[in-house]
Structure 1
Amino acid sequence: MTQITSTADRIEIRVWLQLLAACLTGILIPLSFTGPAVVLPSISHSLGGTAVQLSWVVNGYILTYGSAMMAAGSLTDIYGRKRIWLLGLGAFTLLTLMIPYSPSVVGIDILRLAQGLAGAAAFAGAMSSLAQTFHGPVRTRVFSLLGTTFGIGLAFGPLASGWLVVTAGWQWVFIATALIAVVGFALVLFAAIESRNPHAAGLDWPGAISFTAALTLFTYAILLAPENGWRSLSVAGSLLLSLGVFIGFVLIERRVARPMLDLTLFRSPRFIGVQVLAASPAFFFVVLIVMLPGRFIGINGQSAFEAGKTMIALAAPLLIVPFIAALLARRFTSGLLSGVGLLLTAAGLAWLAHGLTGNSANGLIVPMLLIGTGIGLPWGLMDAMAVSVVEKERAGMATGIFNAVRVSADGIAIAIAGAVLALLIQGGLLDVLSGAADTHSITEAANRAALGDLDHAAALLPGQRRLTLQIYDQAFRTLLYLLAVGAAGTALLVFMLLGRLHAHDGAAQEK
């Protein structure tokens, strides 16, 4: 009897260590784009680089992470969740350690692209492993805990990164992230239990390649739009090619025996609703995580450490709200809570836009807290909802699709928001300075201002610093109002599609 009890205790310890490993893997994701967002001015000062090259330091990781997530989810089902988890963490660690020693911004961009692929493999392995280990209401609480670890990374990532920049240099932002990955690797090696889908066949390589190519071309076009213009061959051609490749992807998935993306899943309104919900934090929260530090440092004159402290107000609610959401989910449906959260987010975005001034971050704390609270309600419920609308055996595919949408949306949202902000600034400058400055200088100044680099923007337009700041400020307000309208509309859609869904519902209950 004692031996049986001891064995059961060892199994339980391994299960919770596996959860800890998943949380450490999860925290790497926000650290991998909040950190670079904070240290971007330091990288620019150290290595130079154009506005487009610097934007790829953030967008490169998110692009490949999101593009590869769906394929990574399928790989976990085929080759084993633990194996893919370990391979992803190992590669992530090595690539992250190489970034501080890159001689140029372009070199960092290339490493970040590869780092995103490794991060996708690691996180897909972690998520699909948890889906096999925990079930029912417990799984809801487990995924809420995972959402809280995201909150830790988002809340304290900018602060920790700013502190490291001030005390040790920007290189240590990446070194510290790699050290967390090392600890996670050791825990996975010891505690994780291998599992795979016994019915899974080989990876749908044509589908994986075409999906990744379509998303890459689309994001690339958006990133180039502020600099080259929407009518340029590079932008318009990339968009058309992206559309063509995506149509090819759909045709491939309809014909292959075991597709990477089972298109029949999209016959379910709830499945569609979960994907809509997955994309919502990217546009209404992650965009701010990336763009506000640049504003606080470049426009408000804060240090990297001060900007990190200010950003806590935005993400701190994610430390507790996901747990509260899991408790509320016992009485209210997950879809209802998610919709209410998005309405709160919309209110916070509009309030933030109203409270912005050109040279002060005062008065922004409460609206930032409201945004974080609003997004925190669906944040702790989304992951469990994603696997609740499919059969257990297809958890890997569901996880891959959900995270592909969520993280692909991050890259697309950041690219779109940056492009819209740059185009709004560019349009404002052209209206006032048409004929007084050449178009190329205005375009480059707008791109620099959109990154929060007001000094370089003003240097390109001598004597127009105050005007540039005024136009930037109005453009930023307009962007926030647009996001507020989008959040309110998304909330209504979530109410319609997911209003009756509980996070721990099974697939059978969906019907």
Structure 2
Amino acid sequence: MSQNQTQSSGMLLFAILLAVFVVPSSISGTAIALPSISADMDASLSTLQWVVNAFNLMFACFTLFWGTLADSYGRKKAFLLGAGIYTAASVASMLAPNALFLDVARAFAGIGGAAIFSCGSAILIAQFEGSKRTQAFAFFGTTAGIGITLGPTISGFILDFINWRAIFAVHAVVLTMVLLLATAIPKDAVSSKKFSFDTAGTVLFIASLMLFMLTLVQGAQWGWTNAKTLLLLATSIVFAIGFYLYELRIDNPMLNFDLLKNRTFVGLILIPVVASVIFVTLLTYYPSYLTGVMQLTPSKAGLMMISLTLPVLFCPILAGKIVSRGISARLVLFISLVSFIAGGIILAVTSQPGSELWSLAIPLLLIGIGMGLSAGLVDGVALSSVDPSQAGMAAGLLNTLRLGSEALAVALYASLLTSYLTDSLPSLFAQFHPSASQMSDWVSAIASGNLATPLKDITDSNLLTAIINQYHDAFIYVLNILNVATVALCFYIAWLLLNKHRAEQGISANENS
């Protein structure tokens, strides 16, 4: 490779990684700004939640759309279009006059973020081969991990020194740089056939996923057996069935279901689901356990969480180097699955009120290693297992499954924890004869991690200890369910990958004979 080609490849990779950094840092960093946004705009709680939810919802809905568009329209064009949408949405977020306007702007940012991940992955597949591809996806995973880890810290500093609007201004500036650097991305060849996009399939898919995500978000507020929740779920299922039946009938489907016949691909794209179940849920909710049950200050809880997030910074690069030296990528991924299982089980065993922090740091580190070893590596291996002409569609499916499973896992955790506490806490508080509204307020506060809230109304020296024990029991109950799901998924993934591997060996042996 000539020096000019090397420089061009480096610039291409840098442009994509810069964009990739913005997306997860926006997801993890925007939440910290919600109190400031609320104070500035006097927004209601439900409206405020959609500042984050609108982004996640649109990201999940449009990843497959962008992947398919990239294969048909051109990866570079689709990437630039998505980055442009994200840039404009960031400017709109910065200038938002009210919370509703901000919600809409964040929804468009989610659409652009989906393009960055789907089309960025497809570009890397097209432009890099062999060990270079492995290294590129290792950087991809590391950058996403840095964004997740540093997003809240960066946003916190911006909030302290400027204001919440400056957070979105930074996103706009960085993405403008991406658009300028993206000239290094070469034009990719697309099919000479007349472009024909699966509009009906796209609408059915987005409608189905959007309604399902709305069910998860609103179900916690309305109640899971509420008629409106059940209607949303039923409508989502109807659209999903319609999407499946329609895609089987057309020549240019948004999702070619032959992809799902590829057992290697299916096994690999389920690995991010495992990460969602055990890593993302802890990333989201374990700080509440640390401040509530372990009675750590927020700053100490943040330092403790480094045990979970630090491996995501260096393990993707480590995995890339290991694979480039001849170690099987599949073996590294199996090690990541074992690390997920071991970390979750050890955390359930060692977690107790008053536990030594080092005993909790070890399982968190193991779970973080599982995430770090698989992040980035699994994308490259999974997309390499499909036909290059379907790389965009495959990348879209991978990222749709990744973000969709994250939303589902986080909603499941919150639902299980709240349900457990709703059943167990009333008997604890019955002796104090609270009103129904007061009981509801206490349970809601404790479920959100504010364990000391009832102490404002009750003077009982033993009450906090009892509440801590109840919250701990609820956490262990949920963690055990997550561990069961993790183990089941890991065994299913191993079955898919090992059986496929044996079949390939059998074919090879027959050919040699």
**TM over 0.5, yes or no?**
yes
Match in the other structure for 2:188 = 195
Q: Which moved more, 1:18-27 or 1:424-433?
A: 424-433
What are the within-5 Å matches in structure 2 for residues 341-420 of structure 1? 341-356=336-351, 362-363=357-358, 364-420=360-416
Match in the other structure for 1:313 = 307
1:160 is matched by which residue type in structure 2?
Answer: I
* Displacement of 1:382: 0.9
1:351 is matched by which residue type in structure 2?
Answer: I
2:282 aligns with one of 274, 281, 288: 288
Gaps of 5+ in 1: none
Structure 1 residues 296 and 361, CA, compared in 2 at 3 Å: closer, same or farther? farther
8 Å contact from structure 1 (residues 62, 410) kept in 2? no
Question: Is 1:161 aligned with 2:155?
Answer: yes
Structure 1 residues 357 and 433, CA, compared in 2 at 3 Å: closer, same or farther? same
8 Å contact from structure 1 (residues 72, 124) kept in 2? yes
8 Å contact from structure 1 (residues 347, 484) kept in 2? no
User: Distance between the aligned counterparts of 2:354 and 2:169, measured in 1?
Assistant: 33
Question: Is 1:17 aligned with 2:33?
Answer: no
8 Å contact from structure 1 (residues 296, 361) kept in 2? no
User: Distance between the aligned counterparts of 2:356 and 2:439, measured in 1?
Assistant: 27
Give percent identity, aligned residues only: 29
Q: Deviations over 1:224-253 (max 9, x none)?
A: 233322211111111111111100110111
* Displacement of 1:142: 1.1
Q: Deviations over 1:406-457 (max 9, x none)?
A: 12222222222222222222222344446944556555654554444557x6
User: Distance between the aligned counterparts of 2:450 and 2:196, measured in 1?
Assistant: 47
Match in the other structure for 2:329 = 334
SS in 2 for 1:320: helix
2:476 is matched by which residue type in structure 1?
Answer: R
* Displacement of 1:321: 1.1
User: Distance between the aligned counterparts of 2:51 and 2:354, measured in 1?
Assistant: 26
| Superposition CA RMSD, Å | 3.2
1:212 is matched by which residue type in structure 2?
Answer: I
Structure 1 residues 475 and 310, CA, compared in 2 at 3 Å: closer, same or farther? same
* Displacement of 1:17: 0.5
2:222 aligns with one of 223, 228, 250: 228
Structure 1 residues 161 and 89, CA, compared in 2 at 3 Å: closer, same or farther? same
Question: Is 1:173 aligned with 2:172?
Answer: no
Structure 1 residues 430 and 199, CA, compared in 2 at 3 Å: closer, same or farther? farther
1:424 aligns with one of 420, 423, 437: 420
8 Å contact from structure 1 (residues 161, 173) kept in 2? yes
Q: Which moved more, 1:272-281 or 1:128-137?
A: 272-281
What are the within-5 Å matches in structure 2 for residues 136-285 of structure 1? 136-188=130-182, 190-198=183-191, 201-285=195-279
2:169 is matched by which residue type in structure 1?
Answer: I
8 Å contact from structure 2 (residues 27, 148) kept in 1? no
User: Distance between the aligned counterparts of 1:388 and 1:349, measured in 2?
Assistant: 30
SS in 2 for 1:231: coil
User: Distance between the aligned counterparts of 1:67 and 1:176, measured in 2?
Assistant: 25
Task: Give the TM-score of the pair, scaled to structure 2.
Answer: 0.86
Match in the other structure for 1:83 = 77
Structure 1 residues 468 and 389, CA, compared in 2 at 3 Å: closer, same or farther? same
1:236 is matched by which residue type in structure 2?
Answer: L
8 Å contact from structure 1 (residues 160, 308) kept in 2? no
* Displacement of 1:212: 1.3
Match in the other structure for 1:322 = 316
Q: Deviations over 1:271-314 (max 9, x none)?
A: 221221232222221222233455567885645x6654443321
* Displacement of 1:486: 2.0
Structure 1 residues 408 and 369, CA, compared in 2 at 3 Å: closer, same or farther? same
1:386 is matched by which residue type in structure 2?
Answer: A
8 Å contact from structure 1 (residues 68, 117) kept in 2? yes
Q: Deviations over 1:23-49 (max 9, x none)?
A: 112112220221023344544555565
Q: Deviations over 1:450-473 (max 9, x none)?
A: 444557x64997679836554333
SS in 1 for 2:270: helix
Match in the other structure for 1:495 = 494
Q: Which moved more, 1:168-177 or 1:417-426?
A: 168-177
User: Distance between the aligned counterparts of 2:456 and 2:174, measured in 1?
Assistant: 41
1:339 is matched by which residue type in structure 2?
Answer: F
User: Distance between the aligned counterparts of 1:99 and 1:478, measured in 2?
Assistant: 39
Structure 1 residues 78 and 142, CA, compared in 2 at 3 Å: closer, same or farther? same
User: Distance between the aligned counterparts of 2:470 and 2:305, measured in 1?
Assistant: 23
1:116 aligns with one of 92, 110, 116: 110
What are the within-5 Å matches in structure 2 for residues 2-151 of structure 1? 8-44=2-38, 47=41, 49=43, 52-102=46-96, 104-151=98-145
8 Å contact from structure 1 (residues 159, 307) kept in 2? no
Q: Deviations over 1:205-238 (max 9, x none)?
A: 1111111111121121122233322211111111
Gaps of 5+ in 2: none
